[in-house]
Homo-oligomer: A and B are copies of this chain.
Amino acid sequence: MLSKGGCPKNALSIRDALEALEGRWKLLILFSLSTGNKRFKQISKEVPGITDKTLSKELKNLEGNKLITRNVYDTFPPTVEYSITAHGKSLEKVMDELHYWGLAHRKKIMGK
């Protein structure tokens, strides 16, 4: 698309995507949930560097964008787990391309 030149319609869709995925955490949280349902503390461990406050905010935002669901189980005390939705899983190709590009970028910039 870049080689074919930009058009305003595409820029709008890319803007929508960037807004839903803004920041450095959301895709990493989804990536963590892609291996299975997890509790807050488990996600926190798998996304190094994130604070509890930020993780809490990001989880709410992801839920609002229908990318994850928050499941409350009727145990005592109640158990809360997060799971990725089908819509969240539909980011697979975006993640794949980011992965390939990230590898190439690391080579280019860091020479590793």
Contact = CB atoms under 8 A, between A and B. Distances in A.
Nearest to A24: B18
Q: How many copies does the complex hold?
A: 2
Contacts of A55: none
B65 A109 contact: yes
A90 B109 CA distance: 14
Contact of A11 (B31, B65, B89): B31
Given A2-B30, A13-B102, A90-B104, 15 more contacts: A1-B99, A6-B34, A11-B28, A13-B98, A13-B100, A13-B106, A14-B27, A15-B102, A17-B101, A17-B105, A18-B27, A20-B102, A93-B101, A94-B101, A96-B97
Q: Which 6 A-B pairs have the closest CB atoms?
A: A17-B102, A13-B102, A2-B34, A16-B102, A2-B92, A17-B98
Interface of A: 1-3, 5-6, 10-20, 22-24, 27-28, 30-32, 34-35, 65-66, 84, 87, 89-106, 108-109
19 contacts: A1-B99, A2-B34, A2-B89, A2-B92, A3-B34, A6-B35, A12-B102, A13-B100, A13-B106, A14-B95, A14-B99, A15-B28, A16-B105, A17-B101, A18-B28, A22-B23, A94-B97, A94-B98, A94-B101
